[in-house]
Structure 1
């Protein structure tokens, strides 16, 4: 299918094929390096959960994308309600001329893409935030890439250390980290066993074969170890949150959009220990699963819209956790 598309496009005025890839990680790497105007994606790949990371990259690059449907002549095509892309899918059963005409029409049409995630100028940190001794923990799943871009891009480069668990497919950790790092004032790095958590740095566990847990101390250190799934995930938000309970008075934790309930019990344990806990609200969540589960069991002290979470994190770091521990 890919070779047929290349053959149809090559040599046509106004179009040039600049790269090919056979899976989503390779597509991400190629698009990031080459910054294409348009990406053609097999429909079955566009329906995978990890494609949410691709959408975020395409928006960041201002690249359009169209799905490709492979079928034989006479078979039914894709109905409008099943389209995962911005434009009608390309059908490889059509002629090369029809395929090229459809690509050109899409390129010339006004974009109907969803709005890009809010990437803000970093907020000005309250005096003393960087020396507050606080630790910021964030968990996210479905829709979390855009949510992380919104929250992390609003944090100043000297904010307290941050540890993040994001559910995503294997092979996407480096891509996610590069995307976050290029859009944020903070420095974003992959979680590695034994590394220190430092001011102005975000340590991310995503798509890796181990849980990220923290060792309390000065400074905090990261443990990345393989193990069974926790709350259905590896790495797990619950595993990260539970590992910081002994230092809960120094923790500000946020649970963002996502399916399921990973992170809810860990957030409750943190709140009981005296942490400031934040949950994303339903209206701003792509999937109000993890934040809902946390809210329903009393794990969330503040439920906020996505755009308000970064400011709330900084305020909590500056003011401390006045509420203190709650009863078990």
Structure 2
């Protein structure tokens, strides 16, 4: 029998500590071994308890969550799931936490029954995934600037579609800044709520040669632009030469869905490049297979460089992945695929 995931809860609110502890202990696969009101106490408890996973509040007195996270990843690498409110400021900090090495995040519960049920299910799933994550492969040096494009202008008809989930923020910050400013349009689905997707787009835009925007309905495709799917109740798809946001049920459990994006790009055939990155579950596997069957080039992140080798594994097992690559090799492979005949 597998041992429960030993978890340390760190939050300055006694109410939130109680709620999170009850939610986690309700899952037989998780055991809360300690709770701490601030980072200094948490640091001592980590030494004594050696937890498998830490849940960490974004903003706390004494030492903020980001400073404590940086110390954890530098001195005692441990899977961390951030607990964030849905404010704009919290979203900014959470994106930075994911870049620093946090495995994932959950939005804090509001106390409403249906919201509590959602958060409980999401929190437990993410804590158990974090316990299996490959955190020690993360956080290398800041990626260098764009790789040399070479070979003149990119073909006008090329489109890059990219999907990611758990660990994906870090992966996107490793890949997108290395694409040249005139690269073909890139459509990205990263699983996250609305406020977080807009902050992700803004922070990526500050680091990329390409322009990075949160997509809006009927946005025209343009070379040199990355379109981040908005979180929420819509799917982002390609329709002709426009980005569309469409209503619909969750697909593969998600809004937006990588499968929906990939299936919409599949009719482009060899003009498209599909990229599936680290993440839990199977979203994107079937869509990437549809792309490959139509002649698209399809790339998957390899197990060693993934935080969670879930989505790429599912795609690879379906036969959807033409080549598996490390995160560091992915930018050049994407550029090469865009230039292939």
What TM-score does the superposition give when structure 2 sets the normalisation length?
Answer: 0.63
Larger radius of gyration: 1
Structure 1 pair 60–277 and aligned structure 2 pair: CA distance change class (3 A): closer
SS of equivalent residue, structure 2 residue 64: strand
Residue aligning to 1:191: 215
Aligned residue among 258, 277, 286 for 1:237: 258
SS of equivalent residue, structure 2 residue 96: helix
Matched, 1:57 2:96: yes
Residue aligning to 1:295: 316
Partners of 1:49 and 1:265 lie apart in 2 by 33
Matched, 1:205 2:229: yes
Residue aligning to 2:267: 246
Runs of 4+ in structure 1 displaced over 6 angstroms? 41-45, 48-53, 59-62
Residue aligning to 1:257: 278
Partners of 2:234 and 2:329 lie apart in 1 by 31
Which 10-residue stretch deviates more, 200-209 or 146-155?
Answer: 200-209
Contact 1:188/1:202 (8 A) holds in 2? yes
SS of equivalent residue, structure 1 residue 243: helix
Aligned residue among 204, 224, 232 for 2:245: 224
Aligned residue among 76, 82, 85 for 1:46: 82
Alignment of 1:1-328 (within 5 A): 1=12, 39-40=64-65, 46-47=82-83, 54=93, 57-58=96-97, 115=139, 118-216=142-240, 220-320=241-341
Gaps of 5+ in 2: 1-11, 14-36, 39-56, 70-79, 102-126, 128-135
Deviation at 1:118, TM superposition (A): 4.1
Gaps of 5+ in 1: 7-22, 28-36, 63-81, 83-111, 321-328
Deviation at 1:47, TM superposition (A): 4.8
Contact 1:166/1:205 (8 A) holds in 2? yes
Structure 1 pair 60–272 and aligned structure 2 pair: CA distance change class (3 A): closer
Deviation at 1:40, TM superposition (A): 3.8
Larger strand fraction of residues: 2
Deviation at 1:235, TM superposition (A): 0.2
Contact 1:52/1:143 (8 A) holds in 2? no
Partners of 1:55 and 1:151 lie apart in 2 by 19
**1:28-84 deviations in Å (ceiling 9; x for gaps):** xxxxxxxxx95247999825799998465158799xxxxxxxxxxxxxxxxxxx9xx
SS of equivalent residue, structure 1 residue 46: strand
Partners of 2:220 and 2:315 lie apart in 1 by 29
What TM-score does the superposition give when structure 1 sets the normalisation length?
Answer: 0.65
Partners of 1:270 and 1:49 lie apart in 2 by 37
Contact 1:137/1:253 (8 A) holds in 2? yes
Deviation at 1:160, TM superposition (A): 0.7
Partners of 1:239 and 1:199 lie apart in 2 by 22
Partners of 2:94 and 2:141 lie apart in 1 by 10
Larger helix fraction of residues: 2
SS of equivalent residue, structure 2 residue 195: coil
SS of equivalent residue, structure 1 residue 120: coil
Partners of 2:185 and 2:247 lie apart in 1 by 23
Deviation at 1:210, TM superposition (A): 0.5
